[in-house]
Amino acid sequence: MRLTELDYHLPGELIAQEPLGRRDEARLLVLDRRRATLEHTRFYKLGDFLRDGDLLVLNDTRVFPARLFARKPTGGAVELLMVRPVAEPAGAWLALIRGHRGLREGTRLILEDGHALRIAGYQRPGRPFIVSDDGMPIASIVEDAGALALPHYIHRRPARADRDDYQTVYAAQPGAVAAPTAGLHFTRELLASLAAIGVRTAFVTLHIGPGTFTPLRAPQVEAHTMEAEWYTIAPATREALELARRTGGRVVAVGTSSVRTLESYAITGDAEGATGLFISPGFRFRATDAMITNFHMPRSTVLAMVMAFAGREEILDAYREAIRHRYRFLSYGDAMLIL
């Protein structure tokens, strides 16, 4: 697949900058692959398209405040995106660094609240290992001094409300740099109403890192390499998946991160591990029958995935329809259900 085949024109004014006042009031575009139809509705009517025995699979990762703002001893500003803890060096985290290239190993960084960090080495250029330089664990520093890493296309600083808005109502396992945004549309009331009609829910955990949002640059899409992300599928979820298969229920993955988790498990049989699975057109889905997702950026890994699931022309037609009807796009935007 050529990179240019992942292009479409996204009007800037359709990129949602704020969440809706009520999550499940988001618009929902339903693409039925078998009937080749598109239907406009609202997310709170999701139950109209699901049935008794279907299994919703939700990613319960929790977003942590991953952005840290620091200064070098000379006064230069440095921005860090903390990604995850690493085994070596002891107590270190892997980070992305903005504002400077090639800061030397050993450089001390002072945060706005006075905490001190140090560059302990590099995984590769732009990816330093960061350790605490004042005795406080990195995890505590991040919780005290970190800010949410809202996507670059949200052109404002994170507000206090984003701490709740940019988090699913079922978030439980801290570790994500970014939210599993398809899940942002759910409310507890909606989940309860779905349970009342026999729709079951199960949880996976995949900690979304920066690799999901790294732009595709290779002329051939298949040449892209995904950065690995950690996932876990609990025994109760594995049992729920088996039950759905035995009883004819559909597995409805909420978000591209849930799809990657389910398909990684289907391929490897590993219920826990790091996955670098990149799903693009031509991929054979083994575990996912339907998908809930948002509207994605051009030339992105997640757009490649939904095209793999529903077809390139079908997705482009759906996106044209969404643009014509002024849907809200990207993280705080509206949703699609692909059946």
User: Mind listing the pLDDT tens digit for each residue in 8-35?
Assistant: 999 999 999 999 999 999 999 999 999 9
The answer to whether the CB of 37 falls within 8 A of the CB of 183 is no
Listed in sequence order, the DSSP H helices in the chain are: 138-145, 162-165, 188-196, 235-247, 256-268, 301-310, 312-324
Structural domains of the chain, with CATH: 3-63+161-338 (3.40.1780.10), 67-145 (2.40.10.240)
C-alpha dihedral sign at 12, 227, 253, 6: positive
Omega of the bond leading into 89 within 30 degrees of 0 (cis): yes
Write down the pLDDT at residue 227: 86
DSSP codes of every residue in 38-80 = EEEEEGGGGGGG--TT-EEEEE-EEE---EEEEE-TT--EEEE
Report which secondary-structure segment, H or E, holds 96: strand 93-98
Single-letter amino acid, residue 255: G
Per-residue pLDDT of the chain (339 residues; tens, 9 = 90+): 999 999 999 999 999 999 999 999 999 999 999 999 999 999 999 999 999 999 999 999 999 999 999 998 888 889 999 999 998 888 999 999 875 566 889 999 999 888 999 999 998 888 999 999 988 999 999 998 998 999 989 999 888 899 999 999 999 999 999 999 999 999 999 999 999 999 999 999 999 998 777 778 889 999 998 889 999 999 999 999 999 999 999 999 999 999 999 999 999 999 999 999 999 999 999 999 999 999 999 999 999 999 999 999 999 999 999 999 999 999 999 999 999
pLDDT at 72: 87
pLDDT of residue 100: 59
d(CA 179, CA 26): 17
Token reading at 215: 């732009």
The C-alpha atoms of residue 146 and residue 202 are separated, in whole angstroms, by 30
Residue 231, SS3?
A: strand
Query: pLDDT tens, 78-108?
Result: 999 999 999 888 899 999 987 556 688 999 9
